[in-house]
Structure 1
Amino acid sequence: MSDNGKEFDNQLLRHITKRTHVKHIFTATYHPQANGQVERMNQTLMNMLRKLSQDKPHVWDEHIETSLFAYRTTIHSTTKFTPFYLLHGCEAVTPLNRKLAPIGNEKDLKKRQGQLVEIMSKRAQARDNIVRGQSSQKIQYDKKLQDSTYIPGDLVWIDKKTLSALPKQKTGMRLTGPFEIIQRNRNGTYHVKDSKGVVLKKAYSGDKFRRYEIRHKWGEPVVVIEQNKDIHKRDEFPRLVDASEEED
């Protein structure tokens, strides 16, 4: 899975995925949540690089390896283990940590075998921790989630920045439309067509829509003046009467 960047959507990569029998799918346009694990890691990495290169922003690339090593050797709040340990079955060797003995004899080999057996149970434990963490995160996310379910025929507004064909405007209306829903996909994305009947090629996430409400315009009320023959005989004044009352 990748976003819609040209570095991922090109002839070379399509050839590679075809030869290697890899199913390549793209995220919905301007919907980074669809590739949440990668985007969350990118956010963490960017925060680390920003702090390390605060004095010299132009050399941020020199801190990538350092930042990645720090991330891989830090206990994750969800899994309760370091990424390095879950991948290799042992903690990384650092100047402060040399617990992993070199494999040079039968005793060291048995120790390594024990580590490999232990990692299987630790990975299962990490998987359970991830499931519990995701359930908790989903509850918190759903509290702020608005209903974005639409059916074919519904009219919606679409955020302008979602449509790559339109310029990103800092001022003016953020939404454009109306667009008509023509198909709902199983992954929660939608295919739409514009007011001219042109079907947009890409599918869009429902949280980028706003429901288009059709407001009926009512005409001005017809007002007549009731004629009162005795207006000069008594202290009475003309009364405004709605036309609908006259019909009744």
Structure 2
Amino acid sequence: MDHGTDFAYVAAIPRRSHIAVIALLRRLITTHGKPSTVLTDNGEEFLSYPFQNYLQRLGIQHLHTSPYHPQTNGRLEKFNDMLVQTLARYTAPNRQDEWDQYLPDALLAQRAHVSRSHGASPFFLVFGRQPRLPHETTYDLLRAPPTDAEIATLQNRRLEHVQNVERFRTEANTRALRRLQDEARRREGTYHERALGIGDYVLRRSENPTKLHPRWDGPFIVHDVTDRNVYQLRTRNGYILRTLYNAARLKCYHPSNMDPELWYSSADLQRRDARARMQRRLDTSLGRAGTSRDA
């Protein structure tokens, strides 16, 4: 999605992969030109070497959202919700398995929808006119061929649209920016920034806990601060988590006595932490042996 106009592209793919992502981005670039920045989530297809290398070769800056914090890319999340609702109407009541066939129609409906924040539709902001929708009745085939005067009038009207489209885009972006600033001020009135430092112990909130699963696991240690309220964590044995976490998903942990049994993470993370513990013990043993030999 282009954040300047909210004009979006979508594609139905059998599974998420860097090949599909690069193909869609190449299609966008050949149509609209190269973007300066790409904002994605932390999916494996976006973290893969081929995708990172593709962006680097084109000189495109790559920004990431923090996991489980959709507000970072709220406009795309809102678009996804609206697209799903539109698809649900197209496929009701018994065509849900054919949703991909209705994807182009749902996408056109979203592109033609007038945004309250922009005051215009994404289609208009890109092309300078509203689209002619499939259900609209037209009598062009029954009309006589246009006269020279009618052609000149249409050409002048189109030229006026092209000349005014940049002004419309600027006005729309100004309205959207003002709306975002108002929302940010409202959030700041109720949000208390959580200041975490490197080395602090934290617990991590589970986003999809079952009834018998704890809502928090850990403790983890803040390994690095990558951005405002975005943190990288490591286990107590030194394994660094690849995923980044927003402060909204973390809380400080102040144990009087560190409980070595406090651990509710996934089995995979437990295995990785165990390997890190074994490696640390091995390094310590080798260090002691080297010290003894030196002595």
Question: Which ranges of structure 2 fall in alignment gaps of 5 or more residues?
Answer: 1-38, 140-145, 258-295
Q: Which has the larger radius of gyration?
A: 1
SS in 1 for 2:62: coil
SS in 2 for 1:185: strand
Query: What's the TM-score once normalised by structure 2's chain length?
Result: 0.62
Q: What amino acid sits opposite 2:45 in the alignment?
A: E
The alpha carbon displacement at 1:97 in A equals 8.1
Q: Is the 8 A contact 1:177 1:195 kept in 2?
A: no
Q: Is the 8 A contact 2:203 2:218 kept in 1?
A: yes
The alpha carbon displacement at 1:38 in A equals 1.8
Q: How many residues align?
A: 209
CA gap of 1:4–1:185, structure 2 versus 1, over 3 A, is: closer
Q: Percent identity at matched positions? A: 22
Greater displacement, 132-141 / 53-62: 132-141
Q: 1:55-134 alignment to 2 at 5 Å?
A: 55-56=93-94, 57-94=96-133, 95=136, 105-134=151-180
Greater displacement, 2-11 / 34-43: 2-11
Greater displacement, 34-43 / 141-150: 141-150
Q: Is the 8 A contact 1:80 1:126 kept in 2?
A: yes
SS in 1 for 2:232: strand
Question: Which ranges of structure 1 fall in alignment gaps of 5 or more residues?
Answer: 163-167, 217-248
Cα RMSD of the aligned pairs, angstroms, is 2.9
- Give the structure 2 partner of residue 239 of structure 1: none
CA gap of 1:144–1:97, structure 2 versus 1, over 3 A, is: farther
The alpha carbon displacement at 1:143 in A equals 4.9
Q: Does 1:204 align with 2:250?
A: no
- Give the structure 1 partner of residue 181 of structure 2: 135
Greater displacement, 69-78 / 147-156: 147-156
Structure holding more helix per residue? 2
* Cα deviation digits, residues 36-92 of structure 1 (max 9, x gap): 222221111112212322312211222211111111112111111111111111111
- Give the structure 2 partner of residue 188 of structure 1: 229
